[in-house]
Amino acid sequence: MKKQLILLAGSVLFCNQASAATNIMKSLYVADFDVGSDTAVEEGFTLEGEFGFLTASGNTNAASIKGALSADQETQNWSNQYRLEMLYKESEVEREGENIRDVTAQRFYSTVQMDYKLGNPDHRLFVFGEYDNNRFSAYQYQAAIAAGWAQKAIDEDDYQFRYSIGPGYGIAIDHDGDTDNENHGFIVRASVEYKQQLATGAKLRQFLSTEANSDATRSRSETSISAQIMDSLAMKLSFIMNYNSGMNDAGQDNLDTETSIALVYQFF
């Protein structure tokens, strides 16, 4: 009986010593032991593709295609967004007294924003790049780069809000290859994005950006709502407004609008 009590006391003493040693190790190397902390970042990469197609015949002959790729990348130190859009449209137009089918819209648009996370991962420094090639606008292409401060101001399960603001540089080249001085030079770029998961399961997104200098302003607004059809497939209704004050000099409207319905497939 004595031997059993001695063994039991020894076991308890050994467990207490092992527990104390573990606590000391945890205090010395807390970063290695704190795997499940709230600051842990769920890393991943998502890619979605959009496709919309419209054709009409009879009194109106037209066909349009819209496609887009959107990607989000999340790592321990970076939060990146990539987007590529394409719009193509053919319509029946009158030319020299004849009705012919011709291209009436053609646009390529791409953006990338890379956010570097600071000590507080919701506080970030961003780098942004944009390229806009619209065949039927006043410019052959427009491009901009910017850098500055970004922040994820709200990050709840059902809704998120983020913004960014900083200086940059913009350029606009017309169809003759000349630089438009009003749309060329240093700019200030700001953007806000709001996302919400609705009770019905649909997703709402509102995005607004503006690039401005003393002579010209370019702004873009995207409002979209998407509803899940099956696991990786959704239907998306979107309304886009593009405003460019420099279009007035070329005799074109400052505001372009686009309404579309597209299927969205999440690759991963």
* Domain definitions of the chain by residue range: 1-37, 41-266
Structure tokens given for 188: 């200030």
Q: Over its length of 268 residues, how does the chain's per-residue pLDDT go in tens digits?
A: 444 434 334 444 444 544 444 454 444 444 443 433 445 567 899 999 999 988 877 767 889 999 999 999 999 999 999 999 999 999 888 777 787 888 888 999 999 999 999 999 999 999 999 999 988 888 889 999 999 999 999 999 899 999 999 999 999 898 888 887 777 899 999 999 999 999 888 999 999 999 999 888 999 999 999 999 998 999 999 999 999 887 665 567 889 899 999 999 999 8
Is the distance from CB of 40 to CB of 79 less than 8 angstroms?
no
b/e sequence 80-89, b meaning 16+ C-beta within 10 Å:
bbebbbebbb
User: pTM of the entire structure?
Assistant: 0.79
Distance CA 102, CA 109 (A): 21
Number of other CB atoms surrounding residue 155 within 10 Å: 11
CATH 3.30.70.3270 holds for 41-266? no
Closest of 132, 108, 105, 127 to residue 116, by C-alpha: 127
Distance CA 210, CA 132 (A): 14
pLDDT at 1: 45
pLDDT at 236: 95
pLDDT at 15: 44
